[in-house]
Structure 1
Amino acid sequence: MKRVFIIVFALLSASIARADEGMWLLSLLGKNIEQMQAQGCKLTAEDIYSVNQASLKDAIVGLGKVESPFWHFCSGEIISDKGLVLTNHHCGFDVIQKHSTLEHDYLTNGFWAYKHSDELPNPGITASILQRMEDVTDQVNAVLNDNMTEEERAEAIERISAQIVAKAVQGTDLRAQVKDMFEGNQFFLLVYKIYQDVRLVGAPPQSMGKFGGDTDNWVWPRHTADFSMMRIYTGPNGEPASYSPNNVPLKPRHHLPVSAKGVQDGDFAMIMGFPGTTDRFLTSFGLKETMDVTNDIRYKVRTEKLRVMKEGMDADPKTRIQYASKHAQCANYWKYSHEQNIALKNLNTMGEKEKIEREFTTWVNADPARQAKYGKVLSMIKEGYEAMHPYNEASSYMQEAALQGPEVPLFAFRVSNTLERALDAEKTPAPMKDMFMQAIRENAKAFFKDFNKDVDKNLMATLFKMYNDNVAAEWHPEVINMINKKYKGNYEKFAKELSDKSIFTDEARFNAFLEKPDMKKLQKDLGYITGKSIFETYQKLGGATNSMRNNIAKGDRLFVRGLMEMNPEKVWAPNANSTIRLTYGNVKSYKPRDAVFYDYYTTLTGVMEKEGPKGGEFEVPQQLKDLYNAKNFGRYGADNISVNFITNNDITGGNSGSPVINGYGELIGTAFDGNSEAMSGDIDFEENLQRCINLDTRYMLFIVDKMANAQNLIDEMTIVY
């Protein structure tokens, strides 16, 4: 009852301004620009997105990885004419951790480069900048017809997309993709310049960058300095190039001026970045599966996974560094899943979905032509999810407890596949064999750097037992059957034997094996047996559900097409899919469920007065306390400094690190989180409660200037007062 009262109170208190739902495609901003200008934007659509002249989009960066450069794990913004990129601390956390050792603990102490030669390279990290985008729906639809099966449709889309991409990048160093929108009803070509030399420049200590830890995640108010800095490098010719000491800082087409003016409630704010995924068109049938299967199982399994990792991290300083990033990544969506289910229930999202479906059914039944076209759509989706349910349960446990649980099975499977190819004398020439073996050695070196065999052993025993107890025997990998039979269900005994004997748990054993690789010996290794059996079962699960997934996909596509026909006057925004988007709104306060009397931003004064972040694990660094006590704020505040502020922008995962930009095109903040009361937002946007939590640029400048004494970085920014 108390929770319901708080949410109702929040709805009433936030009724002055409502958030704009939509993560908008840049090339279609002409449909939104008048509303944006009415809310305070002083720019034109051409100022934001232009192919022919420099615009805001040229300063927006999608951070990815070499193996998947089009899938952006975070966003960032260029804030100098030397390719300096600002993003979140949690976006840089993995690379900060990889550079950290007991001797150089950058997680605990922070890191700052005072000259370019001090900046740390990050092999495998990419930075993408959009060059242009184009609606290619007509080209794709020209090769499709309604008589195709879903497999035939997918193959035709893949073929025509490859042709469109090849033509778009011919004779250039650009990369491109064709992405579907609106569940396969529209298609867009996106052309990028992707840089492969991205170096770490600076980051505050995690006691600031991760202040509040898991306790404060998805919570407002916040006092978190969630930022880090990187730099994009190019070859001497200014074009993308792999890492080289001869590379030079990027000269961007545009960089964002950094505002030290501060923000006021009601100020216009827009966010540009690469949001990951939303599912706003999800039906009630899909929602039930998300809540009861995906979120519930993820939360249960990760609760145990986090416990095991934390025990190992607390016991040993080296393990704390090794598992810091793994723990943080696991914890993020552990809490997200839990909070999303709470929000979905409190906001009756199921009721809202069912209402939309009733309206859709009424509209369909009012016309025989619509009945013929859409009459079976909802039943098709419903039946698909019902058939999928037992497989989804097994797949969720497979993902969480086996594939993303202990690390040895995945490592063993990948290494074994590559090794088999390397040792196939008939099919693999000697130079390629050497290349494969070198790749194995490099991957192994990276793996063992952040691997603790005791932690992995405990994860295996705990999570494999959980899989056994919760998944039907039909979907037990052979390794689970072996443990139950040969080891009489003693998962600790099995995990210990694997840990003690497998070549995949000990770097010296592994390297010795590589000196004289033997496939017969490999096939008897418990790590190999475990990885192989897990992936065989995983593939069987995927194959068993292909037809069900195809039915759901077809139903979703027709459902969305019908919704758009039913509401032709509505300006629709497609689901997020890791392509660049813009969202706009205002700086806007609300009354959070656990702190009704906080104002719309919190200050450094508030941080100093707190003994700790609501039970979180970090204290305020003494250096920061000293700066506060001396009132050494410099240009960034007379008596106090804003730490974080909130806006009503529509964002999701992947937007982390995105710039918050005022109506003049100046950087006022960096987005880093959402609020737990509206964690339903990825599925159903809550226009009164939805909030984006942002780092104030003044606090970032204060830390870089006064705490890090990185005058070199201050000097290269364009700061506006």
Structure 2
Amino acid sequence: MRITTRLALLALSLFCCLPTARADEGLWLPLLLKQLNEADMRSKGLKLSAEQIYSVNQGSLKDAVVQFGGGCTGEIVSDQGLLLTNHHCGYGQIQQHSSVEKDYLTNGYWAMNRAEELPNPGLTATFIVRMEDVTSQILAGVPTNSITEADREKLVQTNIQRVAQAAVQNTHYQSFIRPFYNGNEYYMFITEVFQDIRLVGAPPSSIGKFGGDTDNWAWPRHTGDFSIFRIYAGPDNKPAPYSADNKPFKPRHHLPISLSGIKPGDFTLVFGFPGRTNEYLTSWGVDEVYSLSNPAKIKVRDAKLRILDQDMKASDKVRIQYSAKYAGIANYWKKWIGETRGLKKLDAVTRKQEQEAKFTQWAQHGTEAQQAAYAPLLPQLEKNYRAVRDYTLARDYVTEAALGIELIAYANSLLPLVDMVEKKAPAADVATAVARAKKGVAGFFRNYSAATDRKVAAALLPLYADGTPATLLPGYVQALQKQYPGKPGWASFVNALYDKSKLTTESSAQAVLDEVAKGNLRVLRDDPATQLANAIITHYRAAILPAYTTHTDNIALLQRTYVAGLRQMHTDRKFYPDANSTLRVSYGQVAAYEPADGVQYDYFTDLDGIMEKADPTNPDFEVPARLAELYQKKDYGPYALNGTVPVAFIATNHTTGGNSGSPVINGNGELIGINFDRNWEGTMSDIMFDPDRVRNITLDVRYLLFVVDKYAGAGHLVKEMTIVGASTAAAPEAGKDAKKVKLKRKEKAGAVN
């Protein structure tokens, strides 16, 4: 039986004349577009020059793109510093402003004037002023051999600090330098970091998170995943701490917004800060991810998510406390599941082995220098990967299971106080550290439920004890295993732990720190949570981390040489560096795809699909009454197409974590959407790219504007933006012929089952 979505592919006859769109692999440095990518980008539909994308001398697309906080991207869409990003990127800020009485997560938030825009302490927006190849400066004086990876890194870091500081001396700019191609090259980034970022608007979660975890990492998608902020600056338009006197930032460039829409084959450019990829891993690295690390982390997070889900559904207070935490945990839990399946489907280990066989043959039949440099590499990599496996697993169980228990993680954060006092650190230093810890108490307990965490501990401690290789489990925990056997035993231990610890409530934690401030260390040192955390972390640092670091340092050194060899072996290939949270460009085209035999997905979704998914009994698919009302009236304004509103579309761009919130730009340099996800079948693209299945998922800007204007009544924000083009088809009047339009589209798509 042939399975299709409601909006399945158009008839094959309509596609016979369209260009074949395949996923476009690569996360490219904007600095190098002219020499590496401009011609290819133009062949796919780009109308701009490389200089218009990245320029130091004039305003360009890069000047409208920011790193939002530490892990997302945002784009500037007005000359008043208005910033768009994903709802899930602004989720933490929305949550911090929310309470049971003012539930902005559930109801959304819209500032109807500048005075209502909410400040967000600690949130930053970072522009890239320029980037520069500084490889020769960073590697100056660094030996190419006869040096350990650790010693090499010390020399590199010394050079990085010197070069980075000199570049911004006597300016308000900041700088950082990152390795590329596994440390074969280094690039410096000069940045301008703004500190006064205010929340302007956010849709309710029933729009911003529509589909929830059910649809996360999946296509077709109907999520209005956006939030709106504004950058404020001092009187000189430069970064300044929050002040009521600050003014909206005036950018060098802001993105015009196109209402012209998209069609298959259209050029798409994603500009953002992708977090991390590992495209040049060896077969042993891929196998470690696929068969060892991912399964362990998935198991732990699965157990934790079930508990959080139950408690969040039972209590609005817990729901608000844990919404951001849950989203963060669930995001990569589902991603790892898809990644593991994708690697299996691609037979990734075998494909890497085939590449390694070719590399070995090339190395062994090359010059003497080539043989000496590259022939021994792969056996040494295999040796280190095999040696590090148990340590990798033990490390994963510490970070995911042990420290996944908030009480243990919190106690661990206080361990430095114990260490400082026992080592007789200066009294002033101890006082400063205690004051800092006391200041953090309220923030921790604002989003903490001891009752929920107790359940998490009862589930995760057995997983930690059973999953860690026996030889790497702390003696303290081994003793607990014998004293409290099986899950009932662990439950008994956990109850005693939470009943006796003084770190489970805000008042008692403050009292503990008050005692530490007086010099009474015992109350903290002897707390059962501190004792457990100390036993786990001390053992980790002594028995796991050193060996793990030794082997991973060896792997890093060998991997750097391996990547250098691959580039030397394939001189006709354009290599892009792995993502490392620096500004990158990826480009592709709007395209449908076939995820599996007999399954075909179209390239877009719309408001009709939201209503078809609507289910008031399922929190993931609740539809706000106002949205349903607009749908019934067909009150779509200028944002309609064929009697509905486009919601999302997919294209072939290479993206990863950190690209959330990235602008998706057409060939004319206009914003057509906001990147917010990848398809589940493409999540393995961080390690191995599949051109037939990888798709990035984009919120159509027309749905964003529709929600802001027609749903929220915040049309003043739309007026502030630069809107170009018009919808490619007018909406039928008040729903006229809407049913016929829908039926016609289904007929064009073929049978729907």
Do Structure 1 and Structure 2 share a fold, with TM-score over 0.5? yes
Task: State the partner residue of 2:465.
Answer: 468
| Distance of 2:85 and 2:206 partners within structure 1 | 17
Deviation by residue 1:87-117 (Cα, 9 ceiling, x = unmatched): 1111111221222111011111111111222
Task: State the partner residue of 1:447.
Answer: 444
Which of 519, 522, 526 does residue 524 from structure 1 map onto?
526
Deviation by residue 1:15-73 (Cα, 9 ceiling, x = unmatched): 92212211000110112111111111111111111111111101111123xxxxxxx31
Task: State the partner residue of 2:456.
Answer: 459
5+ unaligned residues in a row in structure 1: which ranges? 4-8, 65-71
SS of 1:591's partner is strand
Aligned residue identity for 2:109: F
| Distance of 2:337 and 2:535 partners within structure 1 | 31
Which of 617, 625, 630 does residue 627 from structure 1 map onto?
630
Task: State the partner residue of 1:57.
Answer: 62
Task: State the partner residue of 2:132.
Answer: 134
Tell me the CA shift for residue 593 of structure 1.
Answer: 4.2
Q: After the TM superposition, which residues 83-232 of structure 1 pair with which residues of structure 2 at under 5 Å, given as runs?
A: 83-145=81-143, 146-232=145-231
| Distance of 1:608 and 1:521 partners within structure 2 | 57
Task: State the partner residue of 1:48.
Answer: 53
Aligned residue identity for 1:534: I
Which of 69, 72, 75 does residue 73 from structure 2 map onto?
75
Tell me the CA shift for residue 534 of structure 1.
Answer: 2.2
Identity between Structure 1 and Structure 2 (%): 43
Contact 1:397 1:471 in 2 (8 A): yes
SS of 2:199's partner is strand
Which of 653, 659, 680 does residue 676 from structure 1 map onto?
680
SS of 2:127's partner is strand
Contact 2:614 2:621 in 1 (8 A): no
Deviation by residue 1:120-145 (Cα, 9 ceiling, x = unmatched): 22222221110110011111222222
Aligned residue identity for 2:375: G
Contact 1:214 1:616 in 2 (8 A): no
**Count of aligned pairs:** 705
Which shows bigger deviation, 674-683 or 284-293? Answer: 674-683
Contact 1:216 1:614 in 2 (8 A): no
SS of 1:602's partner is strand
| Distance of 1:376 and 1:240 partners within structure 2 | 51
| Distance of 1:515 and 1:701 partners within structure 2 | 52
| Distance of 1:350 and 1:452 partners within structure 2 | 42
User: CA 1:482/1:234 → structure 2, altered by over 3 Å: closer, same or farther?
Assistant: farther
Which shows bigger deviation, 310-319 or 126-135? Answer: 310-319
Note if 1:394 corresponds to 2:394: yes
Task: State the partner residue of 1:6.
Answer: none
Contact 1:644 1:693 in 2 (8 A): yes
| Distance of 2:167 and 2:194 partners within structure 1 | 18
| Distance of 1:246 and 1:486 partners within structure 2 | 62
User: CA 1:426/1:107 → structure 2, altered by over 3 Å: closer, same or farther?
Assistant: closer
Q: After the TM superposition, which residues 370-449 of structure 1 pair with which residues of structure 2 at under 5 Å, given as runs?
A: 370-403=370-403, 405-418=404-417, 421=420, 427-429=426-428, 435-449=432-446
Tell me the CA shift for residue 428 of structure 1.
Answer: 3.3
| Distance of 2:474 and 2:2 partners within structure 1 | 46
Task: State the partner residue of 2:25.
Answer: 21
SS of 1:569's partner is coil
User: CA 1:424/1:474 → structure 2, altered by over 3 Å: closer, same or farther?
Assistant: closer
| Distance of 1:613 and 1:370 partners within structure 2 | 65
| Distance of 2:515 and 2:364 partners within structure 1 | 70
Which shows bigger deviation, 217-226 or 465-474? Answer: 465-474
| Distance of 1:63 and 1:324 partners within structure 2 | 20
| Distance of 1:615 and 1:359 partners within structure 2 | 52
Which shows bigger deviation, 262-271 or 244-253? Answer: 244-253
Task: State the partner residue of 1:533.
Answer: 535
| Distance of 1:305 and 1:479 partners within structure 2 | 23
Q: After the TM superposition, which residues 245-644 of structure 1 pair with which residues of structure 2 at under 5 Å, given as runs?
A: 245-367=244-366, 368-403=368-403, 405-418=404-417, 421=420, 427-429=426-428, 435-487=432-484, 490-517=489-516, 518-540=520-542, 541-593=544-596, 596=599, 598-612=601-615, 617-637=620-640, 639-644=643-648
Tell me the CA shift for residue 610 of structure 1.
Answer: 2.8
Which of 695, 710, 718 does residue 706 from structure 1 map onto?
710
| Distance of 2:436 and 2:601 partners within structure 1 | 53
Contact 1:422 1:437 in 2 (8 A): no
User: CA 1:2/1:141 → structure 2, altered by over 3 Å: closer, same or farther?
Assistant: farther
SS of 2:131's partner is strand
Give the TM-score normalised by the residue count of structure 1.
Answer: 0.94
Which of 37, 40, 51 does residue 35 from structure 1 map onto?
40
Tell me the CA shift for residue 297 of structure 1.
Answer: 0.6
Aligned residue identity for 1:449: R
5+ unaligned residues in a row in structure 2: which ranges? 4-8, 726-753
| Distance of 2:696 and 2:363 partners within structure 1 | 37
SS of 1:125's partner is coil
Contact 2:408 2:529 in 1 (8 A): yes
| Distance of 1:615 and 1:219 partners within structure 2 | 18
Tell me the CA shift for residue 615 of structure 1.
Answer: 7.2
Tell me the CA shift for residue 421 of structure 1.
Answer: 4.5
Deviation by residue 1:186-212 (Cα, 9 ceiling, x = unmatched): 111111111122222111111111111
| Distance of 1:97 and 1:334 partners within structure 2 | 21
Aligned residue identity for 1:676: W
| Distance of 1:323 and 1:661 partners within structure 2 | 34
| Distance of 2:422 and 2:119 partners within structure 1 | 33
SS of 1:91's partner is coil
| Distance of 1:111 and 1:226 partners within structure 2 | 14
Tell me the CA shift for residue 351 of structure 1.
Answer: 2.1
Aligned residue identity for 1:191: I
Measured on the aligned residues, the alpha-carbon RMSD in Å equals: 2.3
Tell me the CA shift for residue 481 of structure 1.
Answer: 3.3
User: CA 1:277/1:365 → structure 2, altered by over 3 Å: closer, same or farther?
Assistant: same
User: CA 1:337/1:613 → structure 2, altered by over 3 Å: closer, same or farther?
Assistant: farther
User: CA 1:424/1:111 → structure 2, altered by over 3 Å: closer, same or farther?
Assistant: farther
Contact 1:216 1:616 in 2 (8 A): no
Aligned residue identity for 2:294: N
Tell me the CA shift for residue 426 of structure 1.
Answer: 5.9
| Distance of 2:435 and 2:724 partners within structure 1 | 50
| Distance of 1:681 and 1:671 partners within structure 2 | 16
User: CA 1:103/1:595 → structure 2, altered by over 3 Å: closer, same or farther?
Assistant: farther
Aligned residue identity for 1:113: A
